[in-house]
A = this chain, B = another copy of it.
């Protein structure tokens, strides 16, 4: 089968064998923003022509390609959900000679009843779900929009999003803090730890953010350390809020190593153990959905 993780600004394609092993892997910048209206079938051909010609009969596509702005809209599915339910809710789209199905995003409610959404991350969650014990576990997928996910017995129960990565990007580029930091500086673990510590102090995040400016004015914050400090400050607030909402340790971190290392350090600072999932979780999740589609004998299109 073929699995696609088709996001806003990037496209990742996997050819998977019958055991889920990755036979081949491709990446392009043809995110959905760069695809012309009606251009999705052509784009799929572009990236997977030889795989399709070799006879692959199922393409599973996750991510923003299933959104209103994508190929077609696969409506958000309400949690809790299992992989079988996600597979049943995949949306078939017309394509010659091959079944192509779009994975729905997920929706949930937070503890205050506010709506929550994800689209794309659900495949990464499904990719690690099989390895987890039956009892409740907590997953954290750090990123622009970090997800904290409760799972139990093969089901995604609910989740909570924190806009941490995107807030970091906006503050470090578009506020007065930009003058205090080098955005391309190497990660500085000591400064990151100082930011984490600061997050645990008083005054609130909006006050602590200005403190970075003040430190810098008094030459108490080297430009090469300031971005790591800001990262620690924001991740510290995110992790503190997630822990207050409740987690089932150890927290399972899924994502790019540069981020999972930081979140692991932040959790450790709160005394919470974590485990990092280093495999290609998205490909595994796409495979799980493909297996579930076949198991349900869904043969549309």
Q: Which residues of A contact B (CB under 8 A)?
A: 107, 110-112, 114-117, 145, 160-164, 166-167, 169-171, 173-176, 198, 201-211, 213-215, 217-218, 220, 234, 237-238, 240-242, 244-245
With both chains docked as a complex, state the minimum distance between the C-beta of A80 and any C-beta of chain B, in angstroms: 18
Within 8 Å by CB of A115, from B171, B206, B220, lies B220
Chain A contact surface mostly: helix
Report if A175-B164 is in contact (Cβ < 8 Å); known contacts: A111-B203, A202-B244, A218-B115.
no
Q: Which residue of B lies closest to A67 (CB)?
A: B217
Q: Do residues B163 and A114 form an inter-chain contact, with CB atoms below 8 A?
A: no
With both chains docked as a complex, state the minimum distance between the C-beta of A167 and any C-beta of chain B, in angstroms: 6
Q: Do residues A240 and B204 form an inter-chain contact, with CB atoms below 8 A?
A: yes
Q: Which residue of B lies closest to A8 (CB)?
A: B176
Report if A210-B162 is in contact (Cβ < 8 Å); known contacts: A202-B111, A215-B114.
yes
Q: Which residue of B lies closest to A211 (CB)?
A: B114
Q: Do residues A112 and B164 form an inter-chain contact, with CB atoms below 8 A?
A: no
